[in-house]
């Protein structure tokens, strides 16, 4: 068994890999770390595999027969990888720190209770700032809205060392996520029904309720371009985020909170839809409504998952990193725009 496998899931990301893969190869498997870099291809049609064969022959590939999305694509690929730790890495991530994996591996080795860790995720275009999709690690509010140390909604902070302390998190970014393979499979892996978006939060929430720890290792840094698959404001992204967030809540909420939280989320989702409508953004208005309809349609298929998650909880009730407040209220009503102000 290898120590670390860096696995990049690719779908039509030929130019992204051509640009950023050299940095991953240069900086990852250094200092005697038993490590490999693998590209799992989700049936790309842009010549990605031919490019890899010609320009990066040292990179192993796993070829999938169709586009299974982020979640099931990783599940299918990781079944073919024998490593103690998986590092799930987006194709639009650049690494500038040689040996960046070493602090994360060291922490995981020294803390067997830890299932998942992430590096500080910085913005590739503005490298002094945290990146939207994970920053210095994530939390959820009472109603399931995600936020990060370093990013709340659209407000992204500069990194001034304010979040270098290693603290318990609820979720780590899927753009650069290190997970103990044993924990990954014991939790059931990523939920392939999500296809994309929210699946890493769902996995981390399951692991956290099972008593496993999640942290950000500030000594490691990665630079993420972001929006390489679907840009912010894309109706498809809106649909997946709203639908998957509801599915995640249904799967993981404690029994005593389920009805009240889901009832409030319906009203909040309708408010979000009305905001899109007020801006004449009909595509995203329809995406929110369709997400709620699709959640209702899919909900019965997740009942068994919910019962399984409830049965293996070691942390009863709300996990501490799912905060007992509304981030919407804190942000819009109280004007608290950074994690330190909460």
What pLDDT is attached to residue 231? 62
CA 193 – CA 250 distance, rounded (Å): 14
> Is 201 exposed, middle or buried, given 0-12, 13-18 or 19+ CB atoms closer than 10 A?
buried
Beta-bridge partner residues of 38: 7, 60
User: pLDDT tens across 160-177, in order?
Assistant: 999 999 999 999 999 999
User: pLDDT tens across 188-244, in order?
Assistant: 999 999 988 899 999 999 999 999 999 999 999 999 998 655 566 789 999 999 999
Point out the residues of the chain with pLDDT beneath 50.
none
Q: Which residues contact 247 (CB under 8 A, 6 or more apart)?
A: 191, 193, 194, 198, 202, 295, 298, 299, 302
CA 257 – CA 141 distance, rounded (Å): 13
Sign of the CA dihedral with 245 first, then 13, 38, and 34 last: negative
Strands (E), 124-212: 138-140, 146-148, 151-152, 155-156, 176-180
Beta-bridge partner residues of 174: none
> Does the pTM exceed 0.75?
yes
CA 224 from chain centre, in angstroms, equals 13
The three-state secondary structure class of 341 is helix
CA 78 from chain centre, in angstroms, equals 16
CA 315 – CA 253 distance, rounded (Å): 12
The three-state secondary structure class of 85 is strand
What pLDDT is attached to residue 316? 84
Longest dimension (CA), the chain: 57
What pLDDT is attached to residue 229? 53
CA 115 – CA 182 distance, rounded (Å): 9
What pLDDT is attached to residue 85? 98
Q: How many residues does the chain have?
A: 342
Write the DSSP symbol of residue 294: H
CA 134 – CA 64 distance, rounded (Å): 27
How far the first Cα of the chain sits from its last, in Å, is 43
What pLDDT is attached to residue 190? 97
Beta-bridge partner residues of 117: 178, 215
Annotate 85-97 with b (16+ C-beta within 10 A) or e (fewer): bbbbbbbbbbbeb
């Amino acid at each position: 068994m290898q120590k670390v496998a860096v696995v990049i899931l690719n779908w039509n990301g030929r130019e992204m890999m051509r640009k950023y893969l050299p940095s991953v190869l240069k900086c990852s498997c250094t200092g005697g770390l038993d490590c490999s870099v693998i590209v799992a291809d989700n049936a790309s049609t842009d010549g990605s595999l031919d490019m890899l064969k010609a320009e990066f022959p040292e990179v192993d590939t796993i070829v999938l027969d169709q586009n299974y999305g982020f979640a099931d694509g990783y599940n299918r690929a990781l079944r073919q990888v024998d490593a103690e730790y998986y590092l799930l890495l987006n194709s639009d991530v650049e690494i500038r720190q040689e040996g960046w994996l070493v602090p994360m591996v060291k922490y995981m080795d020294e803390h067997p209770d830890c299932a998942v860790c992430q590096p500080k995720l910085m913005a590739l275009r503005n490298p002094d700032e945290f990146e939207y999709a994970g920053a210095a690690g994530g939390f959820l509010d009472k109603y399931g809205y995600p936020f990060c140390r370093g990013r709340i909604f659209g407000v992204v902070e500069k990194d001034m060392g304010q979040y270098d302390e290693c603290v318990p998190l609820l979720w780590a970014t899927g753009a650069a996520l290190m997970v103990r393979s044993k924990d990954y499979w014991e939790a059931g892996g990523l939920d392939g029904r999500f296809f994309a978006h929210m699946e890493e939060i769902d996995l981390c929430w399951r692991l956290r309720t099972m008593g496993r720890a999640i942290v950000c290792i500030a000594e490691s840094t990665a630079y993420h371009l972001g929006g390489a698959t679907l840009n912010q404001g894309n109706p498809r992204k809106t649909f997946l985020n709203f639908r998957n967030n509801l599915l995640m809540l249904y799967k993981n909420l404690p029994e005593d909170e389920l009805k009240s939280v889901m009832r409030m989320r319906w009203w909040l989702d309708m408010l979000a839809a009305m905001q899109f409508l007020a801006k004449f953004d009909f595509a995203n208005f329809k995406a929110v409504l369709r997400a709620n309809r699709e959640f209702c349609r899919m909900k019965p298929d997740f009942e068994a998952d919910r019962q399984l998650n409830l049965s293996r909880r070691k942390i009863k009730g709300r996990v501490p990193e799912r905060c007992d407040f509304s981030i919407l209220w804190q942000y819009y009503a109280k004007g608290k725009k950074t994690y330190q102000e909460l």
